[in-house]
Chains A and B, each alone.
Chain A
Amino acid sequence: MDEMQSCLNVLRNNDVDVDNAVDRLMGNDDLYLEFIKRLPEELHLATIREALAQQDAESFHFHLHNLKGFAVNLGITEIADAAQAGLTEFRASQFRNITKLEGLLEEIEASGEKFASALVEIEEIEHAGDDVEKLE
């Protein structure tokens, strides 16, 4: 199994819908990996939490909406679903149900942590590949 497939399998094992997402990029799995590695910086959890605390509707919606788009496109279903639930709740009742919104942000954070571990695993696979290349 080649290095790319090993990396993609790590994601598949973490409930990422890799195949549909790579199809969306017309099979360009290098580009897919390039983007998926950016998830930690795209989460903006601190900013979203700050917006929630300040009840800054514009910022809250903007960052959550972007996160949902990013996660949907890359097949990170757990985060996409939680972000969508947050947007639906926000549209229905703005900040009236803060506990629910906070709960959804916690879900996103937990998924993000699980995902960060997967990314570490992917980096290790890539480094191992680099080492083999150097030896050759």
Chain B
Amino acid sequence: MRKSLLIIDDSELDRAIFNEIFKKNYRVLRAATAYEGLDQVRKNVSDLAVVVLDICLQRGPSGFSVLERIHKLEGCSRIPVILLTAEPEPQWVYRGVEIGAADFLVKPLAPIATQERIRSIIEQHWGTEEEQDADAPEGKISLAQAELLTQRWQRKFLSFCQNHDITFSSYVQRLRVITSALANAYCELYPESGLTPYDAKLISMASGFAEVGQLALPDDIIWGGAEQPEPERSLFYQHTKLGSEFFKEGPPEWEPLLSYCAEVAMFHHKNYDGSGFPTALSRDEIPLSAQLVHTAMMCSDLADRYENEHNISKMVYRALSLRAGSILSPKMLKAVEASQKPLENVFRTMRHQQRAEDVEEKLRVKEALSVRPTEPPAKSGGKLGLKNPLINRRPK
């Protein structure tokens, strides 16, 4: 279980307060500068549960660049970083969320609320204490090794994707958190399924590679998606097979991570009633790993659709309940219902991200208008204008 928390803050008093709040339950590491903080992160990669980072280090909002640097360190991309600020300016909050902050805390810290928020983030990212301590069965890959491998592959995968769209990284992160919530709920609700907390962790790691096969397709086929006419449509669906092939014949010591990745890549477009792609298998023949990721993808898509609704999770649940028995299994719907709290957290973050994108889009348009007042702003093809073809064209 991850037992360390790191606070990076140039105020000795704030570091001391944080230490008092958490010292009973965690090993609290303290750093006064960005340099010290990054050093502590490097030395404690496998034990760090959370980094709490003051936005205003020294004399400016340099916390943002520290956050980015932390996530670029080997094995650190999943460590949740919570930003700390005395003045929660909206543009800082949006910027923080956009570059991957897990949450915000406002000074002065209220001890009980802070403990609760951080505990919830740790559970959301790493699972409960019991789940974190889930041991690997003998001869199977350890969770720590699986995490390291996943991050390494993920980095390569995202580097291949970076010319498509920058939002893919946050989508993968979101999918993993949703899958993790669903898989944990499924374990608890249906122990007879054989799904253990260990498997739930591996499946959530595998979810990030569902679409890896799309890298082998031409861009216009990816953009055409599932709604384009034949023969392009069939070609598009080839990405499931191509993705699945990618994970076959790996070293046995990486199992069952590789099998889960292959299953997810192959069946993430497969509906419970047998419709979807590929044509084989239906109902409980479909691997549970793929059912979980398929449902997580639907949750994510529906949340996008209902992003302006007051209660996104309620709308998502309602929409999924209409599809129970056809697109997803009734059991899976129960898992969605049981995951309400973590899903609400994910959807709240999505809403912040959307707002950040809106603010940036407005700024971009404003900037374009001020530079070339006689010309209309160029059509978006840059940072925020295009939705990711890899995530935007999946069939509902």
Contact = CB atoms under 8 A, between A and B. Distances in A.
B252 interface: no
Nearest to B56: A65
Contact of B107 (A35, A58, A62, A72): A72
Nearest to B54: A69
B56 to A, nearest CB: 7
A55 to B, nearest CB: 16
A69 B11 contact: yes
Interface in B1-37: 11, 13-14, 16-17, 20-21
Given A65-B56, A65-B86, A73 B108 contact: yes
Interface stretch (A18-26, A104-112, A128-136): A18-26
Chain B contact patch, size range? 10 to 19
B310 interface: no
Contacts of B21: 26
B16 A72 contact: no
Contact of A25 (B17, B60, B86): B17
B244 to A, nearest CB: 52
Interface string A64-79: 0110111011100000
Contacts, number: 42
B59 A62 contact: yes
Interface string A82-120: 000000000000000000000000000000000000000
A69 B109 contact: no
A73 B15 CA distance: 11
A51 to B, nearest CB: 12
Contacts of B107: 69, 72-73
B111 interface: yes
B20 A68 contact: no
A59 B16 CA distance: 24
B16 A35 contact: yes
A25 B18 CA distance: 8
A25 B59 CA distance: 26
Nearest to A70: B13
B86 A69 contact: yes
Contact of A24 (B59, B86, B109): B109
A66 to B, nearest CB: 7
12 contacts: A24-B110, A25-B17, A25-B20, A31-B20, A66-B11, A69-B11, A69-B108, A70-B11, A70-B13, A73-B17, A73-B107, A74-B13
Given A24-B109, A62-B59, 8 more contacts: A26-B21, A35-B13, A65-B86, A69-B108, A70-B13, A73-B107, A73-B108, A74-B13
